[in-house]
Chains A and B, each alone.
Chain A
């Protein structure tokens, strides 16, 4: 059957199981858009290509499937860059397809020509340049295989206009795998046995659970290991949800804004068992002083992560489900009452949530909003956060029970991520109670996507935590730059008016007593809704490990945390 390259592309996407793509048309990708009519795939028209890539990313993280974003050449393609880098840092499987000027024009500085393959080499798992219709079938199969395989990640395909228009024979039912994927090294039996021995010897072990648990679907195995060997679990930001927050052995989030007892447990551990996490500088603090007495076991699917930042005693490369399964056959049941008691002592009164319990003193604090949202949604919402203070408060105060219940930009820390990623997540999981939590700064970066949510009739809820500052930067200025609030006070529009202009239900909340009611109304409303929470302006996230400090050198919560509290 003879088809154009554009028609072949849609057929190939269908073959990969794609049902929705997020895109924005333009000159160099017009043949592909023209051929959209031949496909059952639903196209979501985004308002900015960065939003499109975040949507594909949110879709992928919510569903575990590959998200797809489309853009034209030149500015369309370069607008994708931030979204691609975000997906790369957080290992999110997306395929981005860009139109390119005709192959004859390439290199001539043609209108809307840019070398997007060259630009995205460092921020994609791999990328392809396609200049003939005959390459499209194979390339798309290859791209999806690469995006999904091993440690997932973004793949970009740049297709020239003539390749989209060219005619070519297409065999619809070709299924064979084409990517030259490196075989996963065989599981290192020796390292596995060494790990089991280290666990058996350990008196003060801590498991560090990362996003790999979620990607691998290994939560149940993790829970078995935790319960059999009686080992407490600390979670990375992206690992939240991989282990139920209510579990007695769940310590909480580690790192720069981890609770003090979590970081203290890590620092006094004699064994760290790192599962699907990568010892990011935000979780280790100063490396030389990181868990100085601990032996380390590291399990990761990416061989390049083993011994990258932290030298380990047992490194195991593999899929966590398989590794944990094997490890469970070697681990002996144990009880560690002394270690649990020591952790309880570290916890002391640190976990008293004074902000939650604070009587209404006329001020509204962001953690109260997060807490009330957690209560109102019974901890079952799919939360998508932006980047900054609200993101850390969410991680501290919203207690996630299940995998894929939190989507956030961790590695790259991309402001503007939340709203578009939530749109993608809602498309992937229409029945989920999707909540955006964003600050006034990040929200304004991509709020044009409100129109996308309305056009797609997506019933998402948005909580804008407005403190009138770029709060996290202000906090750093307060702590480390002598309160020189350079360029952090921020004037914002009335977000409720903005929302209403899009036809979105909106209200503003300034009092603690109004929070729960507003959340209830938003949830009951059919269609998107936005609540602007006007919160205390100069509030800070505690505890905080200053950049470059050791993990135990935390700036603790002031006590009492709020002036005027009895």
Chain B
């Protein structure tokens, strides 16, 4: 069974290694791990296989880590998370409009269009992202990459926590995100590709 662990940690060079080591010792297989700056410290989400009787133990051992402040565990379901998928699909003049319609139906975006292929970006629950991948298969998926699931803590205290703005995220990711944000506000996102 898959479980999703949501951790609140402080910054630290080896945090992710330490977290993964806990799963290793509990013979749990990690499918995806994601870390990002959070309102305070870092938010780490881990999707892992674990026997039910080990989940509490994993959670308890995660909480023992020096850098980990909070560790929640929840059965993995489609409603409680988001992930992003990128699909590079073979594309001909005959199939291009089909693919655009499919993307629209899934609320996905066209990232790039080239002579023989196009790249579709989709954000959603695991099931939706997976469904898009399956539906694209007949067209010829040349490459695909899906991120691990991310979520924020379920703790009620978050409502009063300082809202997370782009300014807390630094580097290229922030620039990219800001650009998309602006384009979306202007209604120009993706138009350069069409």
Contact = CB atoms under 8 A, between A and B. Distances in A.
B44 to A, nearest CB: 16
Nearest to B17: A121
Interface in B15-51: 17-18, 21, 24-25
B60 A308 contact: yes
B14 A122 contact: no
- Give the interface centre of B17, B66, B69 by most chain A CB atoms within 10 Å: B66
B25 A117 contact: no
Contact of A180 (B17, B61, B64, B66): B66
A121 B18 contact: yes
A125 B13 CA distance: 16
Interface string A303-346: 11001100000000000000000000000000000000000000
B57 interface: yes
Given A129-B13, A146-B66, A122 B60 contact: no
Interface string A104-138: 00000000000001100110011001000000000
Nearest to B69: A182
Contacts of B66: 125-126, 146, 180
B107 interface: no
Contacts of B65: 126
A122 B13 contact: no
A302 interface: yes
B25 A122 contact: yes
Contacts of B10: 180
Nearest to B13: A129
Contacts of A303: 60, 63
Contacts of A307: 56
A302 B17 CA distance: 22
Contacts of B63: 182, 303-304
Contacts of B57: 304, 308
Interface in B65-96: 65-66, 69
Contacts of A180: 10, 66
Nearest to A146: B66
Contact of B21 (A122, A126, A182, A308): A122
Contacts of A182: 63, 69
B61 A118 contact: no
B165 to A, nearest CB: 25
A118 B64 contact: no
Interface of B: 10, 13-14, 17-18, 21, 24-25, 56-57, 60-61, 63-66, 69
- By Cβ-Cβ distance, the 8 closest A-B pairs, closest first, are A304-B60, A126-B66, A121-B21, A122-B21, A304-B64, A121-B18, A304-B61, A308-B57
9 contacts: A117-B14, A118-B17, A121-B17, A121-B18, A129-B13, A129-B14, A146-B66, A303-B60, A304-B60
Given A121-B21, A129-B14, A146-B66, 9 more contacts: A121-B17, A122-B25, A125-B66, A126-B65, A180-B10, A302-B64, A303-B63, A304-B57, A304-B64
